[in-house]
Structure 1
């Protein structure tokens, strides 16, 4: 049985998804920020005959994310029907094994598909700080514009605004570490969707003329160290072999592939 969930279901939902906090980072983050009953977030649950959850589906604006502990327990057709009744669909994303169960039943044509690795770092994994540069700074919210300017010179499709980044920092769900040269950022690393137990690392970048000098790695080490001190597990996406080598050296372990279907 599928029904829309309310705040009365919060404990059951968080317990159901709580065994995999890294995989459910976005689900936790959205529920912590907006609750289960808002215009921004809707959550549905599929229950068995004994009232236990088999799977859940979260909507954040037009983005839908499914979760089940085991893929065979996720009813792809039923969730496709739920999504189809919503007019706001822009993206279906999640662990590949779960999204693939829904895709055959989706009637809306996909405009773009993206598949990347989803990796996380155990809280107890060792972190060698001896190679990190000493000139890594932490960004203040009012300085957001200069990091956005850096990213726009590196990422061709960068869409985040300084106001959005500052708002996320003010809410405590994002932070940024960076290195400057000539009073301008040349390398940076940010977090987003920070929850009580995990955080997504994003925006890892370095200007071309400063590459291969350990700038991004130093920012990553600083970020990981800060998260580790707060018992937050670092997570990230990657699809580039060079990035994979950097992350593997920092003890990030691939969880599963993450699939994003844009509509």
Structure 2
């Protein structure tokens, strides 16, 4: 049975999710930030005889599923009928079971989920890394435009990227850090979400003609050092051999696989 969660369910949901605090960073963080009464966010509990079997969270048109057991996907798909579902994400053991039921509607993307708990292997010389302020938002947005994988990370082209990055910096929603050479941002990274225990790192990029200089390693080290100094674990998604080498060299350990199901183009 699926039950709409309320404030009185907060303790039980967070206790259920805290068994895997990094994997559940988005669920925990969104509940800590927005609770259960937001127009753009809803949370449901899937339960059997009063025992939690899984958690479903809606953030705008994106859904996250989490379970330590086996979810009833027939119930979940019935719930989805009332919404425009753009993305469904969660750890692989959950989404791998759902995907055969929705493969005609969604593309499948799997990524490694890695975590860092010690600063032993981080680059210590990070004095060339700058913490972004509001006036740096246009340069960050411009730099993203040079990276094919990131140019559509924020909708609305340059103006859309600039607006959302500026809002994140001004509201302290995440910390952005970068390296500049000759007045141009050449490498960048940021925290994308945080809870009381973990912080997600995203937006890691280096301009194509500035790679193999250790910039990304230095930027990620600076961000991770801040996260660890705050008493949290740093975590991130990645795929590809180059990314694996970079993050392994800094001490990240794979803890799971993360799957994103995105709607197929019409």
> If the length of structure 1 is used for normalisation, what is the TM-score?
0.91
Identify the residue that residue 60 of structure 1 maps to in structure 2: 59
String of CA shifts for 1:218-249, please: whole Å, max 9, x gaps: 10110000000111211111111011001001
Identify the residue that residue 246 of structure 1 maps to in structure 2: 246
The 5-angstrom pairing of residues 90-169 of structure 1 reads 90-106=86-102, 109-122=104-117, 124=118, 126-130=120-124, 132-156=125-149, 157-160=151-154, 161-169=161-169
For residues 13 and 26 of structure 1, the distance between their equivalents in structure 2, rounded to whole angstroms, comes to 13
String of CA shifts for 1:176-195, please: whole Å, max 9, x gaps: 11111111111111111122
- Asked if 1:22 is matched to 2:22, the reply is yes
For residues 236 and 225 of structure 1, the distance between their equivalents in structure 2, rounded to whole angstroms, comes to 14
- Asked if 1:77 is matched to 2:98, the reply is no
For residues 46 and 133 of structure 1, the distance between their equivalents in structure 2, rounded to whole angstroms, comes to 46
For residues 34 and 155 of structure 1, the distance between their equivalents in structure 2, rounded to whole angstroms, comes to 32
CA apart distance, 1:125: 5.2
String of CA shifts for 1:12-60, please: whole Å, max 9, x gaps: 11111012111011111221222112211111101232x2312111111
**Partner secondary structure for residue 57 of structure 1:** strand
Alignment coverage as a number of residue pairs? 256
For residues 11 and 242 of structure 1, the distance between their equivalents in structure 2, rounded to whole angstroms, comes to 40
**Partner secondary structure for residue 45 of structure 1:** strand
For residues 128 and 203 of structure 1, the distance between their equivalents in structure 2, rounded to whole angstroms, comes to 18
For residues 120 and 182 of structure 2, the distance between their equivalents in structure 1, rounded to whole angstroms, comes to 33
> Which stretch shows the higher mean deviation, 203-212 or 54-63?
203-212
The 5-angstrom pairing of residues 205-220 of structure 1 reads 205-220=205-220
CA apart distance, 1:258: 1.1
Is the 1:61–1:88 contact (alpha carbons within 8 Å) kept by the matching residues of 2? no
